[in-house]
Chains A and B, each alone.
Chain A
Amino acid sequence: MAEASRSRVPLLLSLPALLFFAALLVTPLVMIAVLSFQSFDLATGATGGATLSNFADTLGDPYYHTIFLRTVGIALATTVLCVLIGAPEAYFLSRMRAPWRSIFLIVTLSPLLISVVVRTLGWALLFGRNGVINNVASGLGLTSAPIPMLYTIQGVVIALVHVAVPFMIISVWAALQRLDPKVVRAAQSLGAGETTIFIRIILPQIVPGILSGSLIVFALAASAFATPAIIGGRQLKVVATATYDEFLGTLNWPLGAAIAIVLLIVNATIMLTYNRLLERRYARFAQ
């Protein structure tokens, strides 16, 4: 009796959240999946029936090809930059002395808590033709004509790096914290110099952190909306902004749903395979 009632306790405690998730997460996702198979008519909107034409459009149309490729390209570039910037920064932070360490950890990570719209606005102010960067550059006589940054892919990537790099730092930081500080001394006693220690001892042990950070950054950049919409403008569409336009612009919901489903599947596939690879490669020594 006691056993039975005890085993009901966790169910009762998690039931409200479980019901809520069933209603508000599972149902809408199923609905959007169903919608993506429906055909679309300009006059009547979504109609019943099952068709693969939305997926054929999404995956076959050169227009959407460009959008998907652009999205992946932006996400990859953002990821590479976040690795190159975030991993060394996490290492520098971990080597700082007591008060500075927490101070700069907070300084570099807290932009995470500020709205993406606000941060992107900051980049728009910096990037514009008459923006801060161009004004300073021409004021110093560095440039004769304004450098285009707003409405360019480079601009979108830079702003996305700003949004995503804290996640890379958190991930690498966590890997650095798991390191036994004595291994550095052990390597020193065996004759290794600073550079050798970083390349042969530290780096291999934080690779799992870098990889899981890359995963988060890539997923975030591939599905980003506000940053590419504001910095990229109407011309540089990405998957998220294209979905938005289908839903709230041309009102072709089934097509928008198909784009969203493709995004979800691509995202989930990358995450799962990547995780599998990570586990296989690093399970031997990862904590």
Chain B
Amino acid sequence: MAKIALRGLTKRFAAFTALNGIDLAIEPGEFVGLLGPSGCGKTTTLNIVAGFEEPTSGEVLLDGRSLRGVPASQRGMGIVFQSYALFPHLTVAENVAFGLEMRKIAKPARQQKVKEALDLVRLGHLADRYPRQLSGGQQQRVALARALAIEPALLLLDEPLSNLDAKLREEMQVEIRAIQRRVGTTTIMVTHDQAEALATCDRIAVMDAGRIVQLADPLTLYDAPTSHFAASFVGRSSQLKARIASVEGGRCSILIDGIAATVPGAAQPSLPAGSAVVIALRPEKVRLVPPKDGFLHGRLASRVFQGSSWLFSVETAIGAVLSSEPHRGAPAFNEGDHVGLNWRPEDAALIADAHHG
């Protein structure tokens, strides 16, 4: 049975619909990310699960029981807020102990649990400090310890890393993931940062305009986005309009609009010959080759050195295509060269084109 299930969650405000039928089932111990731009409804979803907002319709089931009408203070969810929301007048230990006090846990047991929670986030030595005396990363860990100390049914993370600088953020991604694995608490994380979601989550729900547009594990989401939105929001990709010419076995041949170039792609059973598609190509899967060896060709418009890799942008007759390759010395092509583009058929994601269906 799912640990937590969202059934047809809808939230309407006077003028607009924030959530439009969210269905999501999360297994025990799973770490699920809600990923999307601001205004996509991810925070509203989190607030409804936490009990801070009531859905217009639909419901939230925890261990199969509906949470309708259960106040936030009775839901037992551990929440880490974007601003951390630590109690500034209480010490680190008092912050962590607060939820245990509310549960009327006797003092000796409470102190033991506070110690365990602080050791878990490696802050045992700062127990008597006040939040203001801590760095951003330390405050973040106190917030995590406070949420975990109550042994929550569910851990909710609301953009937990967005106030940290880039380097610390990457460290904390690893640490949060490791802590979650160790304690095994089912977790939902709201984020607008696709790299953060890919790095930490078991599964990611990509949200757009109040709906989940794709729910998949990070690898599938990255390699096989099923929508134009998912392909452009997660990672970088070049998207080309095309039409399926014929389907044979595991392969189909694609006719790219305007020019008669026929390129191979992995077939999708749902897309018959003749349907309009978009092919999404990840830059690192597109190779720059001499013109005669390419499925497509064009002019190398720019060549950007990015440290560990090079990023090329090629102007083709049907639009710009990005390609990247690891840095192993100066690339073979210069800006202005005529080049070919090549990729393995299975690396091109085919997306049904809603606009030209």
Interface on A for B, CB 8 Å cutoff? 180, 182-183, 185-193, 196, 200-201, 204-205, 284-285
Which residue on chain B has the smallest CB distance to residue A204? Answer: B89
Residue pair B85, A186 in contact (C-beta under 8 Å): yes
CB B56 to nearest CB in A, in angstroms, measures 20
For residues 55 through 80 of chain B, which have their beta carbon under 8 Å from a beta carbon of chain A? 71-79
Query: Given A190, A193, A196, A285, which contacts B146 in the complex, CB threshold below 8 Å?
Result: A190
User: Is A191 touching B132 in the complex (CB atoms < 8 A)?
Assistant: no
Contact, CB under 8 Å: B88 / A191:
no
Task: Tell which of B81, B83, B85 has the most Cβ of chain A within 10 Å.
Answer: B85
B73 touches A192 (CB 8 A): yes
A185–B89 CB distance below 8 A? no
Main SS of chain A's interface residues? helix
Check B89 against A285 for contact (C-beta < 8 Å): yes
Pairwise interchain contact A186-B76, C-beta atoms closer than 8 A: no
Give the shortest distance, in Å, between B11 (CB) and chain A (any CB). 17
- Offer 22 A-B interface pairs, CB within 8 angstroms, sorted by A: A180-B85, A182-B81, A183-B86, A185-B52, A185-B72, A185-B81, A185-B85, A186-B79, A186-B87, A187-B98, A189-B50, A189-B77, A190-B102, A190-B146, A191-B73, A191-B99, A193-B73, A201-B87, A204-B89, A205-B89, A285-B89, A285-B131
- Find chain A residues with CB under 8 A from B77 CB: 189
Which residues of the other chain, B, contact A205 by a CB distance below 8 angstroms?
88-89
Contact of A189 with B78 in the complex, beta carbons under 8 Å: yes
Chain B, residue nearest A283 (CB): B132
A200 to B133, CA, bound (A): 21
Q: How far is the CA of A182 from the CA of B52 in the complex (A)?
A: 11
Q: Bound complex: CA of A192 vs CA of B64, how far in Å?
A: 25
Residues of B within 8 A of A193 (CB): 73
Does residue B145 face the partner (Cβ distance < 8 Å to A)?
A: no
Q: Which residues of A contact B82 (CB under 8 A)?
A: 182
Residues of A within 8 A of B79 (CB): 185-186, 189
- B73 near A183 with CB under 8 A, answer no
Is B73 a contact of A189 with CB atoms below 8 Å?
A: yes
B71, closest chain A residue (CB): A188
Q: What is the chain B residue whose CB lies nearest that of A186?
A: B85
CA distance A187 to B146 in the complex (A): 10
Q: In the complex, which residue of chain A has the Cβ closest to the Cβ of B96?
A: A190
Q: Please report the number of residue pairs spanning A and B whose Cβ atoms sit closer than 8 angstroms.
A: 71
CB of B310 within 8 Å of the partner chain: no
Which residues of A have CB within 8 Å of B98?
187, 190, 192, 200
B85/A191 in contact, CB under 8 A: no
**A191 contacts which of B52, B76, B81, B86 (Cβ < 8 Å)?**
B76
With beta carbons under 8 angstroms apart, the residue of A188, A196, A285 that contacts B88 is A285
Q: A187 CA to B133 CA in the complex, in Å?
A: 21
- Known contacts A182-B81, A186-B81; 7 additional CB pairs below 8 A are A185-B85, A186-B146, A188-B52, A191-B74, A284-B132, A285-B89, A285-B132
Question: How far apart are the CA atoms of A196 and B99 in the complex, in Å?
Answer: 12
**Across the two chains, which residue of chain B brings its CB closest to A207?**
B89
For B103, the chain A residues whose CB sits under 8 A away are 191
User: Contacts A186-B87, A189-B77, A190-B102 known; A285 to B130 CB distance under 8 Å?
Assistant: yes
Min CB gap A197→B, angstroms: 9
Residue in chain A with minimal CB distance to B100:
A190
Q: How far is the CA of A130 from the CA of B73 in the complex (A)?
A: 54
Bound CA–CA A192/B102 (angstroms): 6
Q: Contact partner of A183 among B72, B76, B78, B85, CB < 8 A?
A: B85
What residues of chain B lie closer than 8 Å to A285, measured between beta carbons?
88-89, 130-132
Rounded to whole angstroms, the CA-CA distance of A190 and B147 in the bound complex is 8
Residue B19 CB within 8 A of the other chain: no
B284 CB to closest chain A CB, in angstroms? 39
**B87 and A183: CB pair below 8 A?**
yes
Q: Are A182 and B102 in contact (CB under 8 A)?
A: no
Rounded to whole angstroms, the CA-CA distance of A285 and B146 in the bound complex is 18
| Chain A residues with CB under 8 A of B349 | none
Question: Which B residues are CB-close (under 8 A) to A183?
Answer: 85-88
Most chain-A Cβ atoms within 10 A of its Cβ — which of B86, B89, B98, B146?
Answer: B89
Is B254 an interface residue when CB atoms closer than 8 A count as contact?
no
Chain A residues in 8 Å Cβ range of B75: 189
Question: Which residues in B have their C-beta under 8 angstroms from that of A201?
Answer: 87
Q: Is B161 an interface residue (CB 8 A)?
A: no
Residues in B with CB closer than 8 Å to A187 are 87, 98
Report whether A189 and B72 are in contact in the complex, using a CB–CB cutoff of 8 Å: yes
Q: Check B73–A182 contact: CB distance below 8 A.
A: no
A185: which B residues are within 8 A, CB to CB?
A: 50, 52, 72, 79, 81, 85
